[in-house]
Amino acid sequence: MVEIITGVERRRHWRPEEKLRILAELGEPGAKFVDVARRHEVSRGLLWQWRDAQRRGTLVAEEASSVPVRVVPELPAPASAAGSGASSPCADPVERDDRIEIVLPDGTALRVPETVGSTALRRVLAALRG
């Protein structure tokens, strides 16, 4: 059997935002490379190349104002603190954590106080990418 191709076969062009969105799916619990690759009709090898480029900092979103965020529920208070009924801050053994935790797709975790300035946060994230 002979296959005759009459048209020009074109490669798809993926925008950086699309690549990053697809790579973000790999960070979901239970996600597998093969499933994500099939869903988006790309090869696993291409996903590995994109992931490597992301880790090196060469694959970044063109617009930094849009970042995927996943909110996780707070951990429940320990039973001893919940049952005591004490309302004074000294009696509560669990301190309030006023930090923001940012987990990058490569697994790097960054914890900063919620009062951190956006300029300082940009510098720290740029240093992590570089």
Q: Is 29 helix (H, G, I), strand (E, B) or coil?
A: coil
Question: Counting beta carbons within 10 angstroms of the beta carbon of residue 25, is it exposed (0 to 12), middle (13 to 18) or buried (19 or more)?
Answer: middle
**For the chain, which residues make up each domain, given as ranges?**
13-67, 97-130
Per-residue pLDDT band for 7 (boundaries 50, 70, 90) equals low
Percent of the chain residues topping a pLDDT of 70: 63
Check pLDDT > 70 for residue 88: no
CA 14 to chain centre: 19
Query: CB under 8 Å to 123, separation ≥6 — which residues?
Result: none
Residue with the larger pLDDT of the pair 129 and 130 = 129
- The residue count for the chain: 130
Q: Which CATH class is domain 13-67?
A: mainly alpha
Residue entry with tokens 């059997």: 1
Check pLDDT > 90 for residue 11: no
Taking alpha carbons only, the member of 73, 76, 23 closest to residue 52 is: 23
Per-residue pLDDT band for 49 (boundaries 50, 70, 90) equals very high
